[in-house]
Every structure is written in structure tokens, then in C-alpha cells.
Amino acid sequence: MRQPYLALAKFFCVAAMVMASSACGGGEDPGSEPDLDIERSDVGAPLQGGAGSGSCQLPDGPLSFNELKGPLENLPVDCVPSWTEAQLSDGFEAIRDTRLAELALPEQPGFPRRISWLEADNGCQDRAPAATYFLTQWGYPTPWFARVHSRVNIGLTLATENEPDGSVSWSAHVAPVVRAGGQLMVLDPAIEPDGPLPIAEWLSRFVASEVDVAVCRDHADQSGCFDAVPKVPSLPSMTDPQGLRRRLTTEWRVQELLGRDPYRSLGDCPPWADCPPEPAPNPNLPPTIRGFASDRDLLVWYPIHVIGDNFVEGLTTVRITGNDIDALAPISKINKRRILIEESYPSGVYQVTASNGAHASQTVSLTID
């Protein structure tokens, strides 16, 4: 029988010499800030070698996340593939910005999509392998996966402008990781679209409790970490109803909930791009209503998001009629493309009209489930 602790000892032996001594929330109160410093204790030449270079000791067979997890200072850095600074910069921009025909949705075949970085709420287990796959296809050394699991149910929280509620919470997170400039660098535009982050800074963006961390070569989620033989990177399925296609679909809906034009934000003008602003709404023209939403799903209940165009703050009104109701809806938030109505209406079918003064939209049917 293979002895996993012997494998772990060999796996971590070099790491102890190159990583500074620190702790990752061990023994602290779950609400306190863990120490995530991973600056090298030696400041000499950058680390050399990398996976396949002969300078590191790989595990002697399959190992799970639980067998390799631990505090940040114990991460085995020598086997993580090494990138140059140019590769790090160019590779990050490539996975952040490249729109890919392989990711076009069947209902929008002429609209290539980027990896779903703007759907931070879910899907990191699909984004990370997709990024690793494309980077490998483009000739970069194949990244590994930086994985973090909270020791409580929901212990990871990210504040983000790309979510209608302003934040997302997870029990685990994963992103591609490489070695550059003597430290582990994480490529995760969902966390930071401006560039790669040192792993300690990456964790500091969303860690709110005690966590376990590992770097895994072969698995982005579930219990695995290393296989006996390296896995060949592959693109997650676009036919799995809960996979990458769903992430791309919900990313589109999130843009609508945020009041963005998805053709713009998921096209050539994502939030991190330097694009001219959209034209302001025209109060002398009627609004348009394209549909309704409550969240990422198709059912509408509470709150109600009116999705459309040419909504004018302080001017546009929304009238809802049906089920003995005929009233102007109270508007909580409004921008050019979205109106938020935080009023609870009974289930049923309603007629909705938006108006800019005397300029009214077409009346659209709304079914509240």
C-alpha cells in the first residue's frame, strides 16, 4: 500500500525552504483576518525549474485535496509551472479578453464569448479549467489550480460590482496558478481584472474565515488533486446543463440585472475596458420593455427587474395592472436599461407599461409565479 504521508513529506520538503513562515487563519477566531503573507524568506534569484524540469519531487501516485491541504506556507511551489513576466502579462490578458467561437451560445452563434469572468457568483470550477485549456492551446506552460476551501459552510465572500447584490459568497474557490518572479501568481479576472495576483493577495480579497489551501495539477474541484498520470487539459462541456453553457447564460442575465447592455459588456466593452460611455437616455422618446427577471432564472416573483432601454431616472414611471391592481409601481433603482421594483405582487398575469411623461412603451404581459 502506498504511504501518503511519505509522499507528502517528499512533496513539501523543498517548499519549506522557499516559503516564509506564516499562518493561514489557523487557530484564530473565524471572524479575524488570517495572516496570508507568503513573501519568500530568501530574496535571491527567482525560483528555477518547474513541473517536468527535474528540480521538484512530484507525488508518487494520486493524491486528494484532503491529503495535500494545509496552511499557505506549506504550498509546494517548485513543481508549479514557471512563467516569465511577459508570459504572465500576456497570458492573463489573453484569457481575460479573448472572445472565442467555442464559447458562443447556440442561440447566439455569431457572438463569440469570453470565459464567464462576469458571473462571479458561480462557475469557478468551469472557468479555471477553461482558462487552463486555452492557455495550453496557445502554447503557454499548463497552469495548475489554486484551490481554497472554507472550514465553515460559507466562509468566502467577495465584494464585486459585477453582482446585483454587491457581493457573492462561496464555500470554495479555484483559479489557475503559475510561478513567476519567485512566487505563486493567480490568474483570476473574476477577482481582479487588472492583472495576476500573488496568492496571498488573491486570498485576502475573499477569505473571511479559516481555510484550507492546496495547489492541484489535475483537478479544479471535488476531492481529487493529483492523478497518477497528468490529465490532458480539456474544455468543460458546453452541453452539460449545469456546466459552462449555463455559466455563460446566467452571465448574460446578470448583465441585464445590472442594467448593462450584454452585447456591449460581453462584447468589446467589458467593465475593465477603456470604452466611451453609452449615450444618455432620451426623455423625448418612449422607453422599451424587453422582459422581466427576478434573478438568474426565468421565473419572475420578487423583486421585479424590468429589462429594457431608455429609462430616465426621475422621469420614467411603470404602471402595473391586473388582479384588481392598477397602480404606478414604486421604483427602487433605475438606470438606462433596468428598473428595480421591490414590491411584492400576488401571483398572476399583469400588464406593464413604462412611460417617459406622455411617451409610453408598448404594454407587455408579465406573469408572476
pLDDT in tens, the chain (369 residues): 333 333 333 333 323 322 322 222 233 333 333 333 333 222 222 333 344 444 677 777 899 999 999 888 877 788 899 999 999 999 999 999 999 999 999 999 999 999 999 999 999 999 999 999 999 999 999 999 999 999 988 889 999 999 999 999 999 999 999 999 889 999 999 999 999 999 999 999 999 888 999 999 999 999 999 999 999 999 999 988 889 999 999 999 999 999 999 999 999 999 999 999 999 999 999 999 999 999 887 789 999 999 999 999 999 999 999 999 999 999 999 999 999 999 999 999 999 999 999 999 999 999 999
Count CA atoms closer than 13 A to 295's CA, side-chain side: 7
Q: How far apart are CA 202 and CA 213, in angstroms?
A: 12
CB atoms inside a 10 Å sphere around CB 160: 17
The reported pLDDT for the residue numbered 20 is: 29
Q: Which amino acid is at 288?
A: T
pTM for the whole thing?
0.83
Nearest to 175 by CA among 183, 167, 184: 184
Write down the domain spans for the chain.
4-226, 288-368
- Is the C-alpha dihedral spanning 180, 181, 185, 189 positive or negative? negative
Does domain 4-226 sit in CATH 3.10.620?
Answer: yes
The CATH number fitting domain 288-368, selected from 3.40.630.10, 3.40.50.720, 2.60.40.420, 2.60.40.10: 2.60.40.10
Helix or strand run (H / E) with residue 276: none
pLDDT digits (tens, 9 = 90+) for 216-274: 999 999 999 999 999 999 999 998 888 999 999 999 999 999 999 999 999 999 999 99
User: Cβ contacts of residue 366 below 8 Å, gap of 6+?
Assistant: 292, 300, 304, 320, 349, 350, 351, 352
The reported pLDDT for the residue numbered 74 is: 76
Q: How far apart are CA 341 and CA 128, in angstroms?
A: 35
Helix boundaries (H) for 79-193: 85-97, 124-137
Count CA atoms closer than 13 A to 234's CA, side-chain side: 8
Nearest to 251 by CA among 260, 338, 208, 22: 260
Q: How far apart are CA 204 and CA 156, in angstroms?
A: 10
Identify whether the C-beta of residue 194 lies closer than 8 Å to the C-beta of residue 205.
Answer: no
